[in-house]
Amino acid sequence: MVLQLSSLPESPSIPHQNRLSHWREKLVDNLPQTKRITQQIITAIGVGLLFSWLNVPVSWLLGSMLVGIAYAISQGCRQPLPSSFKLIGQVVVGLVTATRFSPETISVATTYAVPLLLCVFLTGSLSLFNGYLLSRWAGIDRTTSLLGFIPGASSSIVVMSEEMGADALAVALLQYIRLLLVVLIIPSAATLLVPATPDTSVTATVATTSNVTTLPMAWNLLILVGCGIVGFWAGKRFRLPSPGFFGPFLVGLAAFWGLPDKMQMPQPVFAGALLLIGLSIGVQFDWQTARKLFKAVLIEIGLVIGLILMCLGIGYGFHLITDVDMSTAILGFTPGGIEAMVATVMQLGGDTGLVLAMQLTRMLGIIMIAPWLVAFLVKRAKPSDDQSYNIEPVITPE
């Protein structure tokens, strides 16, 4: 009888107790990391609010990135965050980018389709050429330098850069130096070149959405979540570049254009996504990258100023060809800073709708073409022709 009892299987409660003990140990082991991440996010929120109050461009992304950099410096090495943080940010930014476009915007742009596309091509080509020069002169790898000079859609470019083999921190820094210089220089230059004329006639308008109904927030969020999940799955399934961004962007674009109601991303959600992306980039900072980027930043400032002057010339040429007023033509072809350009053209009395249509058309073309074009140019580059020093790409742990 004793032998029979001793041969009975263990009580089912024992494996259950083992599982509970394993989970408890795992929770205790992860407690320091959870505390560290919580402190970083709280600090990033505080800096983001401060930068937003100071009207710093892309305040939530830039502020959280600086917090991440400061933390990485204090620890003396990179401190990568879970890959899910950046993935959530990618999905949200992709959906927000899709909400910016409407069929009305594209229809307005077709009024000046040929000269508009020609000028967009020239602007993009000059930007890519500047990226090539940066890679040659500053020693940055070709992919990083090209993506760092893509004009416009800066948040989207930063989001997709890491998965294209670029250094996301370097791309973010180069993109926002470009944006800062454009926002500082162009409005002042346009005001000096074109005096304010509030009575300037409007040549084209983008249809307003005042007559378009907005879904209740619960349905709005449900559709956004669905587009994000389906988009990420489709991006992985069809092997799109940066599937976390491009999948939700394309699915969201199709869904938003097909729905009769207007979709919108709550601003706190968008700010939170930028915070996660910026923090994920910043914590992977190292001094080797910083030393390499110092020279690149100095070179980029000169290249961006040259690019701005050339874009002013392109805008002037568009003005001569189409008879669109000078302020509209100039501000429509600036390499970035849509909000600042729209505010400036309203002050100068130009065509706000056409500037918005021109800027968004350029942005849509860049988002759709840039990743494949950059990959093609990098692949076509001869090894002997690429003498640049390669900044080690940031690898996000799974």
3-class DSSP assignment, residue 374: helix
**Kind plus residue range of the DSSP H or E element containing 53:** helix 13-53
295-307 pLDDT tens trace: 888 999 999 999 9
3-class DSSP assignment, residue 262: strand
360-369 pLDDT tens trace: 778 777 777 8
In the numeric block, which tokens belong to residue 37?
A: 């991440």
Compute the distance between CA of residue 132 and CA of residue 117 in angstroms, rounded to an integer: 22
Angle between helices 83-99 and 267-282 (to 10 degrees): 140
Residue 301's CB: how many other CB atoms inside 10 A? 14
5-55 pLDDT tens trace: 444 455 555 555 666 666 666 655 667 778 888 999 999 999 999 988 987
Compute the distance between CA of residue 318 and CA of residue 307 in angstroms, rounded to an integer: 16
Residue 253 near residue 133 (C-beta atoms within 8 A) = no
Query: How confident is the model over 264-269, as a mean pLDDT?
Result: 88
189-207 pLDDT tens trace: 887 877 655 444 344 444 4
Q: Residue 186: what pLDDT?
A: 82
201-256 pLDDT tens trace: 344 444 444 455 567 888 888 999 999 999 999 988 887 767 888 889 889 988 88
Handedness of CA 188, 193, 195, 201 (dihedral sign): negative
Residue type, 294: F
304-335 pLDDT tens trace: 999 999 988 998 899 898 888 888 888 888 88
> Of all residues in the chain, what percent are helix, strand and coil, respectively (each to 5)?
75, 0, 25
Compute the distance between CA of residue 332 and CA of residue 359 in angstroms, rounded to an integer: 6
Query: How confident is the model over 274-278, as a mean pLDDT?
Result: 88
53 Rama sector, left if φ>0, alpha if ψ -120 to 50, beta otherwise: alpha
pTM assigned to the model? 0.69
**CA–CA distances in Å: residue 370 to residues 51, 197, 296:** 30, 36, 21
393 pLDDT above the threshold of 50? no
